[in-house]
Amino acid sequence: MKIWMNGKSVDEKDAKVSVFDHGLLYGDGVFEGIRAYNGRVFMCDEHIDRLYRSAQAITLTIPMTKKAMAKAVVEACKANRIRNGYVRLVVTRGIGSLGLNPYTCKKAQVIIIAAGIQLYPKKLYDTGLAIVTVGTTRNQAEAVNPRIKSLNYLNNILAKIEAINAGAMECIMLNSQGYVAEASGDNIFIVKGDTLITPPSWCGALEGITRNVVMKLAPEQGYKVKEDVLTRYDLYTADEMFLTGTAAEIISVVNVDRRVIGNGKPGPVTRELGRHFHAFAQSSGTPIT
């Protein structure tokens, strides 16, 4: 495997990070997960725009232009012959001294990994997920804003640990007010009649790229979409429920905290949106040429 690092492609065994990199020491950095479909990088510009917004929010200067970054993502895919796969784009604060002061880091480091990924077993896309609510609350927006896609994912990892220990592959994270925020790595939607509802970012939800695509595609299929506060009661009584994410794509949730959602099978709205999403993804994006 070839890894794109700081302007050049290197063998996986030579892709090394200093022990003094603040990304390693303190989780100080930002990242994006990007998909490639049918020889195209899906929503490349949108992902890169979000990466730079995240970096700006933490005063991290990325040492290359957006145009150069997009070109590097394509080069990483080409170097690994990726036509359908996953790209992890990472920007760390770079090498600095011990201690929290980020200004001792002279230059950020850019790493791009292009490989394959399968977040959930294929059969679960046909049968749906059973998930649980966990006790780990989502970080407050006033502490670590959920719109910043940072390398510090411990909040999400603690939630994932709880889910796995409870025998589930995914979970629901609530915010400090008890409202639904998101899953450990995905956005949450419910379906009520002809309306899709998803939590707003101030509740602790990342403004996901796949989430935004679904919110664009749904009205084209005749569905209403709104951001609104959700409680667990709203999830339990939903007609359908599904998760969205770059790695997860669109996957149905059929059981929450041992409450059956709908008829216990992936619903028609979820399935229809899944078909339209994949059709859109297969025909959109930046060519890997």
Catalytic residue positions? 149
Distance separating the N- and C-terminal Cα atoms of the chain: 18
Burial of 220 (0-12, 13-18, 19+ CB in 10 A): exposed
> Residues near 164 by Cβ (< 8 Å), separated by ≥ 6?
none
Packing angle, helices 66-79 and 44-57, rounded to 10:
120
Nearest to 232 by CA among 171, 191, 174: 174
- DSSP sequence for 184-217: SSSEEEEEETTEEEE--GGGT----HHHHHHHHH
Whole-angstrom Cα distance, residue 271 to residue 266? 7
Strand-pairing partners, residue 224, are 195
